[in-house]
Chains A and B, each alone.
Chain A
Amino acid sequence: MVRTLLSRVLSIFRRRLLERDLEDEIAAHLAMQEGEFRAAGLSAADARAAALREFGGVAQTKEEYRERRGLPGFDTVQQDVRYGLRGLAKNPGFAAAAIVSLALGIGANTAIFSLFHALMLRLLPVERPQELVSMYRTGGWSKGFVSYPLYQEIQKRSDLFTGVIARTGVTKARFTPRPDARGEFAQKEFVSGNYFSILGIGAARGRLFTEDDNRIPGAHPLAVISYDLWRNRYGSDPAILGTRILLSEKPYTIIGVAAPGFHGVEFEQRAEIWVPAMMADTKIASPNYWWIWVVARRRPEVSQKQVQAAMDVLMQQHLNALYPKSYNAAMRQRALGQRLEVRDAGIGLSLLRDEFSRPLTVLLAAVGLVLLAACANVANLLLARGAARQKEIALRLSLGATRARLVGQAITESILLVSAGCALGLWLAGWGQRLVVRFLPEQAGNPFSASPSVPVLAFTLGISALSVLLFGLGPALRSTAIDPAAGLRPGALIRSGPPLMRRALVVSQVVFSVVLVSMAALFGHNLYAMRSIDLGFRNESVVAVSLDLPRELRGDTRLWIRQFAAQLSQLPAVASVSYGFPGPFLMGTSSASVRVPGSERTAHEPVDVQTAHISPRYFETIGARLTLGHEFGAGDNEGARKVAVVNEAFVHAFLPGELHPDSRRLSFDDTKPEGGEPVFIVGVVRDIRHGGIQTQALPTVYVPIDQAGNAGNPAILVRTHAPPSALLGPIYGFGHGVTIGSLRTLRDQVDDSIFEQRMLAAVGALFGTLALVLAAVGLYGVVAYGTARRTQEIGVRIALGASRGQVVGMIVRDSLLLVGVGMAIGLPAALAAARAVRSLLFGIEPGDPASLILTALILAAAGLLAAYLPARRAASVDAVRVLRAE
């Protein structure tokens, strides 16, 4: 058995030699037989004929012999491949159209799937990742994190978990890799002592943390670094252990290097340095300080549901103890509403995933449609080609080729097309990934791995195989279903498969494009609607800078920042500089409890409002308009009377009726109904949506930063024509020891906040265009073919007096009929799809009439365009010539 197989495999490589052997052997046989017949007295010609007769079919014997010699089917496949390649080379236009269609479909799918895989499916490189869960706190404040005491309570539940890890988020920290080296940045994570042992991560060098490395606050200046950091920053220095580093300006000693490939448990952020949680500069033991993200390994016999039930009980007990009845009722209610959501952590923790999973699912469905549209297009091309080759096929059938063999050849050709499409598609996918990454918010980094992973490749091959079935099989069966006798008759009517099948394919293409185009229109309109929302500030080109200040400046930054801002405002390209904490758009929140004398709403209980501490020219810099009063000036400092600017939402909530600046006041002393020390309201500013585009502004009080208790770490706002990067040099020049936390325009900030909508609109438009072009090509093909077949009929009509206009109308009607049928099916489907993505829409309805009308117009235009050339050709038919040819 093995021997037979071996000889068959070997034969593939010695093909030519073996072929000559066989030739010689048969020739020898025939010669000997002929010789015998000659000897028996036959003439040369008769002897030859008799010898051949005795032998039987020479060609058949050879064929049988070859089949037995080679691998079963291998020679056939080789022949078919060669035949297919020849056929495609002879028809480069067809081949290019088919391959590009497939490459677009396959490429789009691979790009979106690789993102889906990276975000939703890829498991962390840790031991048994499927057992990992994370406790995500919801409701209340600063989602996700829990306090250290709460972590300790969770850790006690050894009935549920085999281990519970505490860790902070991964954050950028100032880092000095060697005592004498320059400072840079590294991604740091505080972890509990059991972090590595519970994840099952080993050490590549030295040792990793144990429980003993995380017992006493501030007493464990030890660090473990990632393999990549060791390789890239230390050149895999074998003497790495014991190296002294500075991290956030504190000294640590490196005790180990983690196993290669491990970058922590977060999806977006790769950790490079781990230090014990006890080294954190925070009120570690405070139950009100939320800074720990819990990851636990659940016992295999305990389900995630059971863990969730247990966590619900544990959290309620914890919160009831933490917020006794005496607490402010509103605050207590909000606090008790918090839950611990048990999440699957095997694929890594991600904040991005929550926001991203919805648009990603939509895109995955959309690319599926693109692939279907591409397949329909190729199927249509194949049918047309099959029709053109009908004579050849009929001839081959009558010469004895079996239909199975012909179908096999057609399928081989399809596989060749898909292979080329697949290769080109993988290349396009890389390009598509870069496009998608451009829309991700800055903190997301690049989630794609550099080389396509095995599951992604498997997916690509899978959809490629699927497409062969989708587009190849039908036409292969169709075009070989010919009666050889009828097909060969001269002047036989050449059928284009059944026109019905081609028409159905074109209609399906129209349906796919209706759905995709309408989605693109919907997302485009959605984006437009979001863009036209008044954010309260007009100047989006303001650069917002957040600084990471050196330790000695952390106490009170006000004086330093004022000087720094003054220096920046001297730069030639800078129009104005201001600063404030928090910044105007999604740069954090700050709140305070106030009383407003005269307001019924604060008469019984104080009310929480948003606050911001701002410098003079703040509103001018960002382009926010005051409806009343004026901004703060340099004189609104510590010694002056307390002043505030409030927003319109504040006025609506607490100051109904006529309003004059300075006539109203509020108080941050919330102990008495009428408040304590008054703060005079000197201005009213229009609402600024600093909670994001989709969030209505809350009542907000702006106070001069020089009158605030603590300025925090304000964002510096620079109104400049120069690009953000032009500020880098001056900032480093003015501020010694200062590093830049982030430097971006408000526009970037706004864009990032709606990245889902922007990505859906852009990628949706791309897919919609793709589907539309494919459909238009398909339409053109069918209409042009139909017109060509009706040339005689058209000639007769013209001869009988039909006007050119009537002929053109006939062709255009044909095209529009197909579009109309496609729309009749596609529009309900588009509506259903729109309802499925309702949660991604803001300010427009799924049945958005503007989008639907636009879609209908675009499709009708495509239909007209596709009919244009065939119609022109039909209108120029020369009736006399056509009739003469008859």
Chain B
Amino acid sequence: MSTRDPGILQGTLDLMVLRTLETMGPQHGFGLAKRLQQISAGALDLNQGTLYPALLRLEQRGWISSEWGVSEANRRAKFYDLTPAGRRQIARESEEWARTVALMERFLKPAEEQ
């Protein structure tokens, strides 16, 4: 069993992948990995390999689908795309995040407001 700790919450990575697919459209694994690193601007110290089990998990849940295709560099690659269920999941998860963030903010705001 792997002892690697991705350092981030599992649900967080899921949402990041789903959201990336939503904004960028169908992507292969390498593209997704690069994009995630770009957006997090290096703050996310992630082994690229960690992405693949996560992709499989999302696919098993029916949130994304995969298909073999040809990349921009004319290379065979597996492309992932968002399913309708995946879109609904983004909506649900975003709401959850917003609530969690709002809640945490109230705890973390300077005390004088109370």
Residues facing B in A19-62 (CB within 8 A) are 21-22, 24-26, 28-29, 31-33, 35, 54-58, 60-61
In the complex, chain B residues whose CB is within 8 Å of the CB of A60: 2, 4, 49
The stretch that binds B, out of A2-10, A84-92, A133-141, A678-686, is: A2-10
Does B75 interact with chain A (Cβ within 8 Å)? yes
| Interface residue? B88 (CB, 8 A) | no
> Does B52 lie at the interface of the complex (its beta carbon under 8 Å from any beta carbon of A)?
yes
Give the residues in chain A near B33, CB-CB below 8 Å.
29
A58 touches which of B1, B49, B62, B71 (Cβ 8 Å): B49
Q: Which residue of A lies closest to B33 (CB)?
A: A29
Neighbouring B residues of A528 by C-beta, 8 Å: none
Main secondary structure of the interface of A (DSSP, over half): helix
Q: Give chain A's interface residues, CB within 8 Å of chain B.
A: 3-4, 7-8, 21-22, 24-26, 28-29, 31-33, 35, 54-58, 60-61, 63-65, 67-69, 402
Give the A-B pair count, Cβ closer than 8 A: 79
Known contacts A3-B61, A7-B60, A65-B52; A25 and B47 CB within 8 A of each other:
no
Interface size, chain B (Cβ < 8 Å): 25
Report the minimum CB–CB distance from A48 to chain B (whole Å): 15
| Pair A32/B30 contact, Cβ less than 8 Å | yes
Chain A proximity mask over B52-68: 1 for CB below 8 Å, otherwise 0:
11001101111000000
Most A C-beta atoms less than 10 A away, residue of B1, B53, B61, B75: B53
Chain A residues in 8 Å Cβ range of B1 = 63, 67, 402
- Nearest to A1 among chain B residues (CB) is B61
CA distance A32 to B4 in the complex (A): 24
Looking at the complex, which one of A21, A26, A58, A68 makes contact with B57 (CB distance below 8 Å)?
A: A68
CB nearest to B54 among chain A residues: A68
Q: Which residues of B contact A7 (CB under 8 A)?
A: 59-60
Contacts of A4 in B (CB 8 A): 60-61
- Distance of B38 from chain A, by nearest CB (Å): 13
Q: Which residues of B contact A65 (CB under 8 A)?
A: 52-53, 56
Residue of A nearest to B32 (CB): A29
Tell me the B37-58 residues at the A interface (CB within 8 Å).
47-50, 52-53, 56-57
The answer to whether B99 has its CB under 8 Å from any CB of chain A is no
Ordered by A's residue number, 20 sampled pairs between the chains whose C-beta atoms are within 8 Å are A3-B61, A3-B62, A8-B60, A25-B29, A25-B78, A28-B71, A28-B77, A33-B48, A54-B47, A55-B47, A55-B48, A55-B49, A56-B4, A57-B47, A57-B49, A60-B2, A65-B52, A65-B56, A68-B53, A68-B60
Contacts of B53 in A (CB 8 A): 61, 64-65, 68
B75 / chain A contacts, CB cutoff of 8 Å: 28, 31-32
Interchain nearest-CB distance for A401 vs B (Å): 11
> Across the interface, do A29 and B30 meet the contact criterion of CB distance under 8 Å?
yes
The complex places the Cα of A64 from the Cα of B57 at a distance, in Å, of 11
- B binding-site residues for A, Cβ under 8 Å: 1-2, 4, 28-30, 33, 47-50, 52-53, 56-57, 59-62, 71, 73, 75-78
Task: Please name the residue on chain A nearest to B47 by beta carbon.
Answer: A56
Distance A24 CA – B68 CA, assembled complex (angstroms): 10
Contact of A21 among B30, B47, B50, B78 (CB under 8 A): B78
Instruction: Assess the B76–A24 pair: CB atoms within 8 A.
Output: yes
Q: Complex: how many Å from CA A63 to CA B4?
A: 12
In the bound complex, how far is the Cα of B50 from the Cα of A63, in angstroms?
11
Residues of A within 8 A of B77 (CB): 25, 28-29, 32
> Are A26 and B52 in contact (CB-based, < 8 A)?
yes
- Least CB distance, A812 to chain B, in whole angstroms: 51
Sorted from nearest, which 8 A-B pairs have the closest CB atoms?
A56-B47, A61-B49, A56-B49, A32-B30, A4-B60, A28-B77, A29-B30, A64-B53
Residue among B59, B60, B73 having the largest count of chain A Cβ atoms under 10 Å = B60
How distant is the Cα of A747 from the Cα of B56 in the complex, in angstroms? 78
Q: A32-B71, A33-B48 are in contact. List 13 more A-B contacts (CB 8 A).
A: A7-B59, A24-B76, A25-B52, A26-B49, A28-B76, A32-B28, A33-B30, A54-B47, A60-B49, A65-B56, A68-B56, A68-B57, A69-B56
